[in-house]
Amino acid sequence: MGRIGTAVLWAVALLLGSGVSAQTLRIGVVGPMAFVQGEHTWYGATLAAEEINRAGGVQIGNQRYRIELIRVDTNEMTSVTDAATAVERAITAQRVDFLMGGFRSEAVLAMTEVAADYRKIFIITGAGLDGLLAGRVDRNYERFKYLFRVSPNKSSDLARTSLLLAAEVVQAVRQQLGIPRPRVAILAERAAWADPLVETAGRLFAAPPPQGYGAEVVGTWRPSATATDVTPELTAIQRAGAQVIFTVLSGPVGVPFGRDWGRLRIPAAPVGINVEAQQETWLRATDNLGTYVATLNSLAPGVAITPRTIPFISNFQARFRQFPIYTASGAYGALYILAEALTRAGTTNVDAVVRALEATDYTGATGRIVFDRTHDVTWGPGYTTGLGVQWVGGRMQAFWPRNWQVEGRVVSYAGVRPYELPPWVVEAWRR
């Protein structure tokens, strides 16, 4: 073999060893693809990749790269082991350059251990457990510096927002039904991410104003995230005399909850987190029994959080004929954030890209994204907080923030309307 041939082989070997295929960035999009949470992660990443590639790809140094997405079905709803194995296969066999996605916190914890072992950047777009980043990135930076989170806000921040939504409902019960100390039931799926919300909610609901809500917590119920019937929990809640149900549901259990709650006409208003109720298919999925259910969401029809909100919703609906849930907007934003970081870094060297990601200041469809010292998305006015939405009159409409006064400023968006108590709750409790 001549010297030129040897040089070519060395160049090819170096290119393969760099982890980046020639002119192509291979992004592993991970999630439970049989469920809407994973499906929308894939859709959001797909939309962003199509837009970026159509605009010429990602400029890195003096080269342009096209994005190639690799679909990684983790089966994480039912198996943490499957999830970790899927991520390792994506790195070693499918040779992905970067990873994003994930939904179930227990599974994401295992998946990110694998990513850290292989020094792969993993941008989380669906799991909320605080401990995915806090206590890892800040305490063992060299091992976990590859992990970032774009969405959702971490569990303790989700607790803040969902409890602000609950405050609207507690206040409605107090003012419209004449009940000075509303009774609240907590219904949370059995999952690690839900634990801090349950603890915080129980404490805050019961504490007297102004620190708390001055309500009475009548009990906590913890069904499986994949339960198909929550009639026993709902009938117990009714017997306990609750006027409000604080929901902490991210899994498929959200649909049977809405269907059973509406079918039984439980006289307690649900509010909190119900990821299934974030979809525009919610009423059809619940046989139209899920009307008046309220949930935290990242987006709402017609509500412009930033100049990028409405274009993202419109393009997503035109492409996939569905309203995007938070995993879609998270994956969409994550890919743009990664592309911009690669351009700023001017190289695919992983340490340089980590440093560029740490300098992120990106205004996306759901708000301004700036990472804190644990590589977590910043919560608060001017950053990302989410919206409160409720199903009223056959459509999803936002009810929060509406004149939210915090840190000396008022936060409100056009199109946000007052919360409405379900009529059978009013009929059962009006005094």
Buried (b) or exposed (e) across 331-347, using 16+ Cβ within 10 A?
Answer: bbbbbbbbbbbbeebee
pLDDT tens for each residue of 208-259: 988 899 999 999 999 999 999 999 999 999 999 999 999 999 889 999 999 9
- DSSP of 184-198, one letter per residue? EEEEE-SSGGGHHHH
Instruction: Indicate the burial class of 170 (C-beta count within 10 angstroms; 0-12, 13-18, 19 or more).
Output: buried
The enclosing H or E element of 43 equals helix 36-54
Segment 330-358 mean pLDDT = 98
Q: Which residue has the tokens 């079905």?
A: 73
Is residue 6's pLDDT more than 90?
no
Within the chain, what is the greatest distance between any pair of CA atoms? 94
3 state SS of 286: coil
* CB-side neighbour CA atoms (13 Å) of 270: 31
Q: Cα separations (Å) of 284 from 277, 288, 312, 334?
A: 11, 6, 24, 30
Pick the closest to residue 326 from 171, 149, 208, 198 (CA basis): 149
> pLDDT band at residue 4, thresholds of 50, 70 and 90?
very low
Q: Are 285 and 224 in contact (CB under 8 A)?
A: no
pLDDT tens per residue, range 265-308: 999 999 999 999 988 899 999 999 999 999 999 999 999 999 99
Q: Using CA atoms, how far apart are residues 297 and 162, in angstroms rounded to an integer?
A: 9
Q: Is 63's pLDDT higher than 70? A: yes
Helix axes 105-117, 80-92, angle to 10 degrees: 30
The DSSP symbol for 274 reads E
Residue 407: which pLDDT band, with cuts at 50, 70 and 90?
confident
What is residue 151's DSSP assignment?
S
3-state secondary structure of 229: coil
Mean pLDDT of the residues in the chain:
93
The reported pLDDT for the residue numbered 16 is 40
The 10s digit of each residue's pLDDT in 35-54 is: 999 999 999 999 999 999 99
187 near 246, Cβ under 8 Å?
yes
Q: What is the arithmetic mean of pLDDT over 142-163?
A: 94
Q: Could you tell me what percent of the chain has a pLDDT over 70?
A: 95
Q: Work out the end-to-end distance of the chain between its first and last CA atoms, rounded to an integer number of angstroms.
A: 94
Nearest Cα to 125, choosing from 291, 293, 304, 332? Answer: 332
- 71 compared with 10, residue with greater pLDDT: 71
Q: What is the pLDDT of residues 77-124, one digit of tens each?
A: 889 999 999 999 999 999 999 999 999 999 999 999 999 999 999 999
Q: pLDDT at position 399, please?
A: 96
Q: Domains of the chain (ranges plus CATH)?
A: 23-152+305-377 (3.40.50.2300), 156-297+401-430 (3.40.50.2300)
Cα(394)–Cα(228) distance, rounded to whole angstroms?
24
Half-sphere exposure of 182 (CA within 13 A, CB side): 29
39 Cβ neighbours under 8 A, 6+ residues apart = 31, 33
The DSSP 8-state label assigned to residue 416 in this structure reads -
Q: Which segments of 282-386 are extended strands (E)? A: 294-297, 361-364, 367-370
**What gap in Å lies between CA 199 and CA 204, rounded to an integer?**
9
Q: What is the mean pLDDT of residues 143-148?
A: 98
Q: Do the Cβ atoms of 204 and 249 come closer than 8 Å? A: no
Contacts of 318 (CB under 8 A, 6+ apart): none
Q: What is the pLDDT of residue 271?
A: 98
Q: What is the mean pLDDT of residues 323-335?
A: 96
Is 304 in a helix, a strand, or coil? coil
Q: How many CB atoms lie within 10 A of CB 96?
A: 26
**Model confidence, pTM:** 0.86
The confidence band for 8, taking pLDDT boundaries of 50, 70 and 90, is very low
pLDDT at 18 over 50: no
